[in-house]
Amino acid sequence: MKAIRVHFTATESTLRMDEVPKPEPVADQIVIRAQAIGLNRADLGRRRMAQPGQPEQPATPGLDVAGSVEAVGAEVRGWRRGDQVMALVRGAYAEYVATRAVTAYHPPRGMRMTDAASLPCVFLTAYYALTKLAGLKRGETVLIHAAGSGVGMAGIQIAHALGARVLTSAGSDERVARGRQLGAEAGVNYSSQDVTMELNRLTGGRGVNVVLDSVGGSIFDATLKALAPGGRIVTVGGPAGPRTAYDEGALTAKGQWVKPMTVFAEAQADTEQKGWAQLKAWFESGTLRTVVQQVMPWTQAEAAQKLLTDRGVFGKIVMTVG
């Protein structure tokens, strides 16, 4: 089968279409025949892991895939060959992908595969961050950073569905406005405004109760200063750079905390897929929608990733396989 893999040299990484063995499912896995692949910023992070001068094996990036079930492991129930499926995987840039059945999901009724491929990573990340980790309550004020990112786009809608007062942020007024169209009440342009000052103004000095931070860097530092007593921050990724060390004792004294999360750990722990059951119901009722900016053939993977690198995307980019 064909797969797009990252090849490392001493000075750079490149994507190449390679011939690789087709996977066979072990007992708790299914194999998916890919029709569409969702891109995430984590795909770019995989390329940056190369160490100059260090020999590295080619690696297949990608976390999101949608298509049909090709094969089913001996212990798997609820899936048959030919079923439509979307999944959170490792190594999505391939014609066939094996994954544990616990992170494979039945798509929303009537949804196109190109839309389904945009869902697992970002919507599950936002859902578990806001519900399981942060315990977001109806009426609380939540800040969803980076409205234009996949996690931001998903988080705004999920927080709104949970009955929270939603604030957002972005690097331009246009992106802030689009975040408001998704359900945010107000937003902060972190390229032109003082984040701490604006958050305090928008909350009447009370601060925000919950933050979903997928930006990091100085934006995290500014947000921490506007966190309400008892406030919680869940961190996911950090394209703006590392977060400054903070005083955990000072946070604890105010009942505050900061926690990182990884979506694979949360998804695999949710063995009954209760998180996806709620999200699926919201999609089928029209409460949630995905935002796919562009669909491209996977032969243009370099160009697709460059759109992410240049931050020219609002929502998701999806590649078709064929």
Mean pLDDT, range 293-317, rounded to an integer: 95
CATH class entry, domain 2-119+290-320: alpha beta
* Annotated domain spans of the chain: 2-119+290-320, 122-264
CATH number corresponding to 122-264 = 3.40.50.720
Pairing of strands 104-105, 165-170: unpaired
159-211 pLDDT tens trace: 999 999 999 999 999 999 999 999 999 999 999 999 999 999 999 999 999 99
Q: Smallest Cα–Cα separation from 104: which of 155, 64, 74?
A: 64
Q: How far is CA 183 from the centre of its chain?
A: 18
**pLDDT tens digits for range 25-72:** 999 999 999 999 999 999 987 665 555 555 568 899 999 999 999 999
Whole-prediction pTM: 0.95
Mean pLDDT for the stretch of residues 264-289:
98
Strand, helix or coil for residue 292: strand
Q: Which of 188, 160, 159 is nearest to 172 (CA)?
A: 188
Confidence of residue 225 (pLDDT cuts 50, 70, 90): very high
C-alpha separations of 96 from 141, 167, 313 in Å = 42, 40, 27
**Half-sphere exposure of residue 188, counting CA atoms within 13 Å on the CB side?**
25
**318, 118 in Cβ contact below 8 A?**
yes
Amino acid at 64: D
pLDDT at 45: 72
Query: Residue 6 is which amino acid?
Result: V
For the chain, give me the number of helices (H) and strands (E)? 11, 15
Over residues 126-154, the pLDDT tens digits come to 999 999 999 999 999 999 999 999 999 99
